[in-house]
Amino acid sequence: MSQYVSRLSGSLPAPRLRFGVGHRRPRRVAMLSVHTSPLHQPGTGDAGGMNVYIVELAKRLAAVGVEVEIFTRATAGGRPPAVELAPGVLVRHVDAGPYEGLAKEELPAQLCAFTHGVMQAWAGHRPGYYDLVHSHYWLSGHVGWLAAERWGVPLVHAMHTMAKVKNASLAEGDTPEPAARVIGETQIVRAADRLIANTAEEADELVRHYDADPAKVAVVHPGVNLERFCPADGRAAARARLGLPQDAFIPLFAGRIQPLKAPDVLLHAAALLLERDPSLRSRLLVPVVGGPSGSGLAKPEGLQKLAARLGIADLVHFQPPVGQDRLADWFRAASVLVMPSYSESFGLVAIEAQACGTPVVAAEVGGLPVAVRDGLTGVLVPGHDPADYADALSGLLAAPGRSAAMGEAAARHARSFGWDTAASTTADVYTAAMYDHAQRHGQRGGHHHHRRHRLRHV
């Protein structure tokens, strides 16, 4: 474990970097999000935390003077080729494959067409139009690798999730990630000038599983929109707006419905709570907010059938994915958010819920031990045994005072995850990538030629 990565553990931002005169942030970044559009509704299809991440990061980068153009695959006809998402943030729709009915697993075959579309957009600009490429997820990484090479600019890549990590902790019956993805990720790790990890653990995994150069790995915690996700007018008002009973115990699941996210663990835990205390039936409500995704698409009704089998179909309320403001109300209304995931690179939903003043019961995996402070803002559960989740929920149910104190601590904890910090730290990573790239290619870099200055960590 390098000093660089380990120094960034916990919830500390990456170190500020100081550069000599002549070193600057990029003016314009090409951001690549092949498989999911930042304009899509999170919680449906392949849209989730990564969509929120890209939208918020791009907006905050634009606010500090870094223009962002996001390239994504067109998934509907008649969409304008470019849409302004916010001042300084442009979304470009690239035609690559059919608009609908294309699973994420089929997208590698469309990368050539997507790359062609990105190159066409670039060809219409003056030389040096984009200063840097930032790709998200391995599919985008391959396009980013090619674009960065062609344009003579640095590549910054964020994995978000990794095949080797996912395959090491698969849910029962879930489909392993293919070897082609592992190979692809390995190539991107080698090609990138900088790799952005959500947590120190993810940085460690990049080094351990993919032999990443530790000096190229930077930890940037994703942020949360603290204006939108906040306690606001409290639980009672949120429950009134959503038409939920005021006295109910409400453990909430919010996210894509697929084996990886393990919503079935919450249903089994709820059934166990009722087994232990049948009187709970009159005041237990389990909302499941989200749509089927990934391998969950094969059995979209699976969760409803499980609720019926467990005899709790009347208590489980399935809600389609909702907009961010409505989602914030669901978080406020919940007694607790439950995240029994098998793998999470960060778990943005956990921070969003805590920012609304709601404690979290989560699996002790991936970035969740950074997102949730065990015993203070929620409870971390080792493994995926529903009995352990039932125990954690019983503890909160039996001690309303403890639960309320956790909610208050959760809101305080989440305040350290603002997007402004994430954006300024990302901009520092860009500057470092440009500096290194200029050092390596300075003699033949044309508009990339910079005077050499020593980089100092502060």
SS3 content of the chain, % helix, strand, coil (to 5): 45, 15, 35
* Beta-ladder partners of 362: 339, 380
Give the β-pairing of 17-18 and 89-94: unpaired
**Is 324 labeled as ligand-binding?**
no
**Is 358 labeled as ligand-binding?**
yes
**Is 50 labeled as ligand-binding?**
yes
Supply the DSSP string of 55-73, one letter for each residue. HHHHHHHHHTT-EEEEEEE
Q: At 397, list the tokens.
A: 């149910």
- Secondary structure class of 335 (helix, strand, coil): coil
Return the axis-axis angle of helices 263-276 and 302-309, rounded to nearest 10°: 10
**Is 382 labeled as ligand-binding?**
no
Residue ranges in 342-385 assigned as alpha helix (H): 348-355, 368-371
CA–CA separation, 366 vs 346, rounded Å? 6
- Secondary structure class of 251 (helix, strand, coil): strand
**Is 78 labeled as ligand-binding?**
no
**Is 48 labeled as ligand-binding?**
yes
**Is 271 labeled as ligand-binding?**
no
**Is 44 labeled as ligand-binding?**
no
**Is 225 labeled as ligand-binding?**
no
Place of tokens 């032999």: 211
Length of the chain: 458
* Beta-ladder partners of 268: none
CA–CA separation, 172 vs 260, rounded Å? 9
CA–CA separation, 89 vs 64, rounded Å? 12
Supply φ then ψ for residue 91, to 5 degrees: -105, 120
CA–CA separation, 202 vs 38, rounded Å? 23
**Is 159 labeled as ligand-binding?**
no
**Is 334 labeled as ligand-binding?**
yes
**Is 261 labeled as ligand-binding?**
yes
What type of residue sits at position 457? H
**Is 53 labeled as ligand-binding?**
no
**Is 161 labeled as ligand-binding?**
yes
**Is 256 labeled as ligand-binding?**
yes
**Is 71 labeled as ligand-binding?**
no
**Is 47 labeled as ligand-binding?**
yes
**Is 199 labeled as ligand-binding?**
no
Binding site residues for Mg(2+), as ranges?
A: 331-332, 334, 358
Binding site residues, as ranges?
A: 35, 41-42, 46-51, 104, 137, 161, 181, 256, 261, 322, 331-332, 334, 344, 352, 358
Binding site residues for UDP-N-acetyl-alpha-D-glucosamine, as ranges?
A: 41-42, 49, 256, 261, 322, 344, 352
Binding site residues for 1D-myo-inositol 3-phosphate, as ranges?
A: 35, 46-51, 104, 137, 161, 181
